[in-house]
A and B are shown apart, each in its own frame.
Chain A
């Protein structure tokens, strides 16, 4: 008799597939709305675009979007300054210390407009969707608690813990500024 409730529970597993749903084409109006962040006057934190919440925050919760962010991290040579997240000439991205705050808007604005002391602007290099994908990935990289979605592991050896092993905190010594 226990078989029946177990069988009824099985379809629940299918809910897991949603995590990987691939939205390959973003409608242009949505893409435009994604650029509509309202940032505070000091360039730190602010209000994320409403459409992000309406979409269900895919850039934080969808493995495909996170994997796109991971690809862009490599393609646009973020390693050049930030290494694999451990930091080099640029600050580390995974020790829990964010110069401009850990929220998505700050990271998005950093990517879009650049920051003093060397962070370039990617406004004319990435689309807003790509900047959100990168933002989601960076939040995932520096997450201090386990996330429900993560990009896949690297094929090669990596110098930091894999993103799908959470949390990343503790892998590096905590910044002395903190």
Chain B
């Protein structure tokens, strides 16, 4: 008995996947809400259609064969089945037309662009995300990586581009999927309606580390967003201890500076993620590791074991240099 109960209860656990920070069934923005409504409309309608078809099929299977029935009953049955087929055809046309219209209106609502939207440019790289906050005044423009902050309730316009191959941007809680195609920019517009942290994942196979190409989306109150933006616009924090000063020298003098930028230092490469405020981000290496000093050192020491095939080379550093540079980087909040 208990085994039977268990078997009934276990599938319910699957429903736990319906909520959370990466679920289209837990909408936290207008666009996701539209898609969520559409999803249930389609699921329920198709479920009903399926149940009706199964019932009719069962009826047909259990019915007495025509040959076993008297002559006069057969003519009546013929006329009745004609009406049934006619009704089914009409119902099919109605259902499909209804779903098509619902889909049309939902998609039209999603792509509606807002003139006062916050414009953020997202660029997909193998295998990380570059995030550029646009602004009419250039001193408010800044670049960060792998973390997207959005103010609650303000429409946002994401301009999606790709640097190398096709990627796809998908935050299930906030909006539908949109491809990032080299040479052809796409736009995704939505308004977050609930604060929280959501996870995006590249949704188009883009090479070896496709599965490790995650982005965190932080939806926060406009005040929190304003504070975050002010810290991001500022140049990198100055090193304090002797070790951190040495760390900055390593970053500027070794191959790090060839690819990474730390605003306010000599490091101004544009091939890898901007590290100006890397210590303030929740994760490094596109969601691979938490931003701790140990993880930072592990990543710098051997990026090809943690994320094989990524474009960060293993730069030979002495133990002291590794200590220093990791201490400096986690300080860059």
Contact = CB atoms under 8 A, between A and B. Distances in A.
A75 B313 CA distance: 14
A125 interface: yes
B256 to A, nearest CB: 10
Given A76-B258, A124-B253, A155-B182, A25 B305 contact: yes
A129 B304 CA distance: 13
A24 interface: yes
A22 B253 contact: no
Nearest to A74: B271
Chain B binding surface SS class: loop
Given A31-B314, A31-B316, A32-B316, A24 B309 contact: yes
B311 to A, nearest CB: 8
A31 B314 CA distance: 9
B314 A28 contact: yes
A145 interface: no
A31 B237 CA distance: 34
A28 B315 CA distance: 9
B315 A127 contact: yes
B6 to A, nearest CB: 45
Give the bracket for the number of chain B residues in contact with chain A: 10 to 19
Given A25-B314, A155-B182, A125 B258 contact: yes
Interface in A1-34: 22, 24-26, 28, 31-32
Contact of B304 (A24, A124, A125, A126): A24
Contact of A126 (B253, B258, B302, B308): B258
Interface residues of A, number: 17
Contacts of A144: none
Interface string B236-257: 0000000000000000011101
B254 A124 contact: yes
Nearest to B254: A124
Nearest to A130: B313
A23 to B, nearest CB: 10
Nearest to B315: A127
A25 B308 contact: yes
A36 to B, nearest CB: 13
Given A126-B255, A155-B182, A25 B313 contact: no
A69 B254 CA distance: 20
A28 B313 contact: no
A130 B208 CA distance: 19
Contacts of B302: 25
Interface of B: 182, 208, 253-255, 257-259, 271, 302, 304-305, 308-309, 311, 313-316
25 contacts: A22-B309, A24-B308, A25-B308, A25-B314, A26-B304, A26-B314, A28-B314, A31-B314, A32-B316, A71-B311, A75-B259, A75-B271, A76-B258, A124-B254, A124-B258, A125-B257, A125-B258, A126-B255, A126-B258, A126-B313, A127-B313, A127-B314, A127-B315, A129-B313, A129-B314
Give the top 5 A-B pairs by smallest Cβ distance, nearest first. Answer: A25-B304, A125-B258, A24-B308, A24-B309, A127-B313
Given A22-B208, A25-B304, 6 more contacts: A22-B309, A24-B208, A25-B314, A26-B304, A124-B255, A124-B258
